[in-house]
């Protein structure tokens, strides 16, 4: 995937009037920051790949794509408001590029949906959330790499509190009636995501709280 060409095409389709190359360079610089192990350009590329599979389902596909590019542009694992900061960064970027206020507002809203506080209701928000969570439903080996990368990003947290906090996050997803809200992602990733999450929680809890996942498929 030629990311620079893709970014430039998107920037033009959104009606922006500034040059795309300096912004792309800034995006690349940010996604290569040393505190990142999972929230990198590889994650953005995977999100864009997932979007391409469901682009025809979206109401505003270009706005989802813009939100994906920017949803982790600010990433500091020591704070809890990265999505808010990323949405503000995107708003400033789009405003300076003379992108319409309506498009800018929708992009901001889509970025904020990736906080994953509650399942979204609007179609484009459900798509971006499902895209962002698709890593939970990848193969066991891919999920393990994702899980290890998240631990690396929080390497400054002692083991015991990290395991407790991480288990609670994963349990919150597993407790949902459905992890994925759209049929496309649910059909492809739901069963594998539940297996991955159950296994990870089992390991984090060291068999003291949850029962080990069964070998049968969900």
Give residue-wise pLDDT tens across range 11-62.
999 999 999 999 999 999 999 999 999 999 999 999 999 999 999 999 999 9
pTM, full prediction: 0.92
Model pLDDT, residue 1: 65
How far apart are alpha carbons 96 and 6 in whole angstroms? Answer: 20
pLDDT over 60 at 75, yes or no: yes
Dihedral angle computed from the Cα positions of residues 109, 1, 21 and 132, in that order, rounded to the nearest 10 degrees: 20
Residue 117 burial (C-beta neighbours within 10 Å; 0-12, 13-18, 19+): exposed
Q: What's CA 9's distance to the chain center, in Å?
A: 22
Residues in the chain: 218
Model pLDDT, residue 206: 78
Axis-axis angle for helices 82-96, 101-113 (nearest 10):
160
CB 167 within 8 A of CB 205: yes
Domains along the sequence of the chain with CATH: 3-205 (1.10.1300.10)
């Amino acid at each position: 995937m030629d990311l620079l060409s893709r970014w430039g095409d998107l920037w033009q389709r959104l009606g922006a009037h500034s040059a795309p190359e300096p912004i792309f360079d800034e995006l690349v610089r940010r996604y290569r920051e040393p505190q990142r192990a999972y929230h990198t350009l590889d994650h953005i590329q995977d999100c864009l790949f997932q979007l391409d599979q469901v682009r025809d389902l979206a109401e505003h596909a270009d706005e989802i794509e813009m939100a994906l590019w920017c949803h982790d542009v600010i990433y500091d694992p020591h704070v809890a408001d990265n999505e808010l900061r990323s949405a503000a960064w995107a708003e400033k970027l789009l405003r300076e590029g003379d992108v319409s206020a309506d498009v800018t507002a929708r992009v901001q809203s889509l970025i904020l949906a990736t906080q994953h506080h509650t399942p979204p209701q609007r179609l484009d928000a459900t798509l971006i959330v499902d895209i962002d969570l698709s890593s939970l439903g990848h193969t066991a080996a891919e999920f393990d790499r994702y899980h290890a990368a998240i631990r690396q990003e929080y390497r400054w947290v002692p083991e015991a509190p990290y395991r407790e906090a991480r288990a609670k996050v994963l349990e919150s997803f597993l407790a949902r009636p459905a992890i994925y809200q759209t049929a496309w992602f649910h059909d492809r990733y739901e069963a594998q995501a539940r297996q991955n999450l159950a296994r990870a929680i089992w390991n984090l809890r060291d068999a003291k709280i949850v029962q080990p996942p069964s070998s049968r498929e969900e």
